[in-house]
Amino acid sequence: MKVFLYDTTLRDGNQDRKISLSLADKLQIARILDHFGFDYIEGGWPNPSNPTDEEFFQKIKEVKLKHAKIAAFGSTRRPKVLPEKDPLLQALVKSGAPVKTIFGKSWDLHVTDVIRTTLEENLDMIESSVAYLKEHSEEVIYDAEHFFDGYKANPQYALETLRAAELGHADFIVLCDTNGGTMPWELEEIVKDVKKHVSTPIGIHVHNDAGLGVCNSIYAVKSGATMVQGVVNGYGERCGNANLTTIAADLHFKMGAKFFAAKKIARLRQLSSNVDQIVNLPSDAHAPYVGDAAFAHKGGAHIDGVMKVSRSFEHIDPHAVGNDRVFVTSDQAGGSLVVEKLKAIKPGIDKKDPVVASLLSLIKERENAGWHFDSAEASFKMLVYRHLGMVQEPFKVLNYRVIEDKTPQGVSVSQATVKLQIGDKISHQVSEGDGPVNALDAALRKALLPFFPNMAKVKLDDYKVRVLGSKVASDATVRVWTTFGDEKGYWNVVGVSSNIIEASWMAFVDGLTYKILVDNKVIEGAYKHLDVKPVEPAKAKEDAVPETAKKLTARKVRNLAGVSRKK
């Protein structure tokens, strides 16, 4: 049986009280979800009150997705309003999304007491809305909201709502446990009964209020559902949504289900970690399959057993999901996974080589200090290449300074000065910006631009700050995580310090150095000489730096006043 994975991180996940996704966040997560192989990505609810979602559906058209279909979310028409006159349905059509997903009422209580219409009108709202959207979509998915509560209260009417969606020619009918309180044995019986009355393919959408989101999703597939809706890492309103990260692993390893993303299951931990970084939340160490503690063993019989026969204390091979076993009482934590990554950088390297041991020690030291390399692959590569002596730095930092000033009119002015040595040349530049971090970024680019014209193409797509540990005073250690990108792709870097300026500087230097080395084919093997002859000033395109600064200004998070205190 083939199962379709439908991700709703960008909408349901965004309803988590700790999450507020920007347009850049949503676009970056969409790329990651598509790369992993999810079949559907629900982008949000486009309507005039959600300008970010409206813009997302226009911008995502410019992204070349490899597999996923983009879905726009909305509701059935309002009572006594024709579909072609309903503004919410019109917003769905205007979005241009190939897939439209709408929810309707399955519980008679909601029909009579919440939207306050007749049971018959509700059936017509469902059928006419689905039928109308079918005229403007490749696919229409109908989410039967509160279906399980509705079925338990009035099974005949709940089934009639599904038949109304079927009459409208919905491509999938998704049964929703919106309150998240249905027990697995109840859900199993109800799904099996639905299969007797409806011929349209069935999906499942479960909330986690009783801690059963993953369990109920798996039971639904066992009972015949062929679409699973969920959220990466289980974010969401109240207790969250069904954790699609865990579900994907369970479907693959425990059920042998066929789904497109199964071929990327070895990147599951990376997927989880990357999305955690973008939403700016700490990763759950105890998350099944992907957490730091998922395959951690502490002392005694467990370690002895794992070292003799790994499956004696592990239900799967941790490397199958991109994780690694950790022996808490030893110095072997993370070793094998790092060695595998080293082999990709320097083929033939022997894990017994003393340089490998010293590199592992350095990585552990950095990670204990707060560095996070799982979701900052560019920083990991830079660390390895430098430690192995495989690169020569394309520039040397001689000095940088940031000045904060306030004019008599009360306007704050941030100014940064950067002095670099590039070959036998000195580049000394100054820039202003929206906050000291933005000014520093602009000055660094300006100093590099005459020697490396491709800097004009680099954008800072994302910048996040996280306070580490329980110390949240002004002298707390912070981790700065940034995403740079150009027309070829994007890369993530990280910096850690008790000084936010220094942490930001580390990330910026690594991010732009990585770009230079990649462009010059250095990060493919042996070092080769860089051409650092300055171009003519007229060709340097220095106006590109102020444009970058404008984009950073719009995001506002570049100003130190906007530093996140999420831990």
Which structure tokens are listed for 197? 């009355």
Which phi-psi region, left, alpha or beta, contains residue 69 (left: φ > 0; alpha: ψ -120 to 50)? beta
Q: Amino acid letter at 518? A: V
Q: Of 334, 354, 370, at which residue does a domain stop?
A: 370
pLDDT of residue 535: 52
346 and 407 co-located in one domain: no
Q: Based on the fold, state whether residues 217 and 311 are members of the same structural domain.
A: no
Domains in the chain, number: 3
CA distances for 146 relative to 127, 155, 261, 482, angstroms: 18, 12, 28, 40
Q: Where among 247, 279, 311 does a domain terminate?
A: 279
Give the separation between CA 89 and CA 82, rounded to whole angstroms: 10
Within this chain, do residues 211 and 302 fall inside the same structural domain, yes or no?
no
Domain boundary, last residue among 279, 312, 336: 279
N-terminal to C-terminal alpha carbon distance within the chain: 41
Q: What is the CATH number of the domain that holds 547?
A: 3.30.160.270
Q: 185-214 burial string, b = 16+ CB within 10 Å, else e?
A: ebbbebbeebeeebebbbbbbbbbbbebbb
Q: What is the DSSP letter of 2?
A: B
Contact 75, 115 (CB under 8 A): no
Is 284 a member of any domain? no
Residue 208, domain member (yes or no) = yes
Rounded to whole angstroms, the Cα distance separating 341 from 319 reads: 12
- In this prediction, residue 470 carries a pLDDT of 62
Tell whether 300 and 237 lie within a shared domain.
no
25 with 117, same domain: the answer is yes
Looking at the fold, whether 365 and 272 belong to one and the same domain comes out as no
Q: What is the mean pLDDT of each run of 10 residues along the chain (567 residues)?
A: 95 94 94 97 92 94 95 96 95 96 96 95 97 96 97 97 97 97 97 96 98 97 97 96 98 96 95 92 90 76 66 86 70 56 75 80 85 82 87 92 85 91 94 90 93 89 82 75 84 91 93 90 53 48 38 33 34
387 phi, psi to nearest 5 deg: -65, -35
Q: Is residue 289 part of a domain?
A: no
DSSP string, 189-258: HHHHHHHHH--S-EEEEEB-TTS-HHHHHHHHHHTT--EEEEBGGG--STT-B-BHHHHHHIIIIIS--B
Cα distance between residue 185 and residue 179, in whole Å:
16
Which pLDDT score, from 0 to 100, does residue 460 have? 86
Is residue 433 assigned to a domain? yes
Q: How far apart are CA 273 and CA 279, in angstroms?
A: 10
CA dihedral sign of residues 311, 314, 318, 324 = negative
- Considering the domain architecture, whether residues 267 and 121 belong to the same structural domain is answered as yes
The Cα–Cα gap between 172 and 241 comes to: 20
Residue 358 φ/ψ region, left for φ over 0, alpha for ψ in the -120 to 50 degree band, beta for the rest: alpha
Structure letter (DSSP) for residue 375? T
Please state, as a whole number, how many other Cβ atoms lie within 10 Å of the Cβ of residue 239. 13
Q: Which residues of 371-380 are buried (b: 16+ CB within 10 A; e: fewer)?
A: bbbbbbbbbb
Strand-pairing partners, residue 102, are 74, 142
Give the model's pLDDT for residue 549.
35
For 210, the token pair is 């009783």
446 plus 400 within the same structural domain: yes
The residue type at 558: R
Strand pairing report for 172-177 and 139-145: parallel
Sign of CA dihedral 546, 552, 556, 560: negative
Residues 435 and 553 grouped into a single domain: yes
**Closest-CA residue to 397 (of 371, 366, 428):** 428
**What does the pLDDT read at residue 495?**
93
User: Which residues lie closer than 8 Å to 223 by C-beta, 6 or more apart?
Assistant: 187, 188, 191, 192, 195
What is the per-residue pLDDT for 119? 96
Nearest to 372 by CA among 280, 495, 233: 495
Contact 336, 356 (CB under 8 A): no
Q: Are residues 322 and 458 in the same domain?
A: no
Alpha carbon 101 to chain centroid, angstroms: 21
389 in a domain, yes or no?
Answer: no
Instruction: Give which of 339, 343, 333, 273 is closest to 303, Cα–Cα.
Output: 333
Cα angle 108, 110, 111 (rounded to 5 degrees) comes to: 60
Residue 287 forms part of a structural domain: no
Query: Is 390 a domain residue?
Result: no
CATH, residue 242: 3.20.20.70
Give dist(CA 73, CA 75) in Å, integer. Answer: 7
Domain that includes residue 111, residue range: 4-279
Query: Residue 178: which of 156, 148, 151, 199 has the closest Cα?
Result: 148
CA gap 269, 513 in Å, rounded: 27
In angstroms, the CA 105 to CA 381 distance is: 51
567 within a domain of the structure (yes/no): no
Q: Give me 353's structure tokens.
A: 């080589």
Amino acid code (one letter) for 59: K
Half-sphere exposure of 78 (CA within 13 A, CB side): 6
Same domain, 310 and 219: no
Contact 263, 246 (CB under 8 A): no
| Closest C-alpha among 237, 201, 230, 200 to residue 214 | 230
274 and 360 within one domain: no
Separation of alpha carbons 131 and 140, rounded Å: 9
Contact between residue 230 and residue 244 where contact means Cβ atoms under 8 Å apart = yes
* DSSP state at residue 328: T
